[in-house]
Structure 1
Amino acid sequence: MIATFGEILLRLTPPDHGMIQQMGSYDANFGGSEANVAISLANFKIPTRFISALPDNELGKAAIFELSKYKVDTNHVQIKGQKMGIYFVEMGSSIRGSKVIYDRENSSFARLQANDLDWKQVFDGVERFHWSGIAPAVSQNCAAVTLEAVKQAAKAGIEISTDLNFRSSLWGYGKQAGEIMPELLEHTSLMLGDPRSLEIMTGIKNPFAGDIKEELDKLSAYYDTVFSKFPNLKWIATSLRTIVNDTHHRWMGVIYDGTKLYQSVEYDLYPLIDRVGGGDAFMAGLIYGRAKYNDPQQTIDFATAASGIKHTISGDFNLVSVDDINDLLKRGGAGNISR
């Protein structure tokens, strides 16, 4: 069983790559980093539990139904408060970039309190626990609950994974990410994070002035510094995205195990349908690979392919199976008709 902790939100997107200011209607569905990871893992046939808080109204019930549809265990979603978090996604096109606007203040999740959850019950049967840097950014309460969760997971001997997921617009309650994140990361064994986010969240200086792909030889030495600061760390990974324009990206991944840097092939993503959730699909692939393969090369190949496919799917969720991903790996990235 893998448990994830975070906020599921209502996602509102103008149709047909429209701008928010010109819309009279929106496509509505659900999303959120840790929920996206949970759904990906459930689609990989991994028993998955989602830990969160939602209001006791039709939106909250609809979100729980959506998670349950993918066989995610929602028994530890707290029902409290009156507001569900919302985010608006304006999908870019060509030279116009995408935009995200959050409305999460005072949501049910943001108002979670330490001791609201019985972690002994939450972690019953759980072997791996995943959280991201978004959860402690939402509110000071959430930072306290995330720390409580991490400490209880570590005490129970549960392996912990983290996606740094730095969101500058969320850290607005008087604390900086660098003040909160280092203590939270102490027990992490699998981390997803680019050097820029690592510098902001841990103070470890980013040595890269430009495209990391041009200086990959520096990355192992940089990650050695990260390993020395977080001794429980076993693997650290990052995705490498080259943006040609908003609908044409190139995508690859790298992972380091403290000894060797492994890299995937690079995928040419054109036309790109929806990049939101791409990093979460990558994270889910890393967790799956750590659990099933425990081999860095297989893991980074699987995670990058999983995320590459997600970029072709509208909405936050990666809706593909392990077989779909392995088929892409066998084909080397070319699309065929399945008959």
Structure 2
Amino acid sequence: MKTTIVDVAKACNVSVATVSRVINGNYPVKEETKEKVLKVIEELQYKPNTQARDLIKKQSSTIGVVVPSISNMFFTNVINGIESYFEKSEYSIFLCITEHDKDKEISRINELISRNVAGIIVVDPGIDNVESKYFDQVAKYLPMVFVNRYSESSHISSVYNDQENGARLAINYLLSKNHKNIAFIRGDNSYSYDIKEKVYKEMMKDINNFKEEFIVNIGHGNSIQTVNKTMKEGIKLLSLNKDVTGVFACNDLMAIGIMNACKKLNIKIPNDLSIVGYDNIELSEMVEPKLTTIDQNMFLLGKNSAILLNEKIENNNKYSKSIVLNNHLIKRDT
């Protein structure tokens, strides 16, 4: 039978009101009594009713997390980081998936608002597709944090990587291996892809070797089909452009797709073609050869976003700030 607050009160020989005060921290309780109640709660494995607690505290204990996808392990690792912080708190997570659809993104956020969540973390928000004023208007009265995207709004906190520097690390590494004909693989509707393409174009133009045909857009870049789609596009690219000796891919799933294309075409990695991915998901160490990639702190992105959101909740949404993380090149075998 499930333990109730009455059971805890009886075991401690105190009133139900005293147990409630210890749980909610809304009235002072003697330290000795508090320690006794907390010990019994742990022994009896009592879990307070979150809905009742929310009514007492007049504040939700649910955090909304909005992500484009869970097919790409980048997003699941970010979620793990968020969960690692909140699992030790009174908050639980309500996850919403948008599939990079702006209408779904707005719909999911509106649903979270109707659920009276304590705050919202938006991973890879579609600012370019959703009117920016929408996010700003929501964030004026509800704590909000962006992950993987800087926000100019004074109402939104953000945590993101220095992706320009990360892209430069990847391309400079290929250049250091004497690769000049470097292809670039990206997907649709992503601010992070746009940043990387901007850096790629600048660096290729700097060495007077920019070729538009070396840029490949595979479409949706975070789906379960990403590897196969990239493999098919990679076969076309490498068959038509035999002078390509290096590839920079916007995420590791795309990079693995290029690796599979090389196997189909009997192109040896890294002897004939070098590849650098982006993310450092677990798969990058499991493939053969092991993928050289850029580590973009997925877990830390999530954990820091949770810290920022908790700060906004505690200070009544008065202050916002940004955290920028540095990327690192992980040298492996490709």
Question: What is the TM-score with the length of structure 1 in the denominator?
Answer: 0.30
Rg larger in structure: 2
Higher relative contact order (CA 8 A, sep 6+): 2
In proportion to residue count, which structure has more strand?
1
Question: What is the TM-score with the length of structure 2 in the denominator?
Answer: 0.30
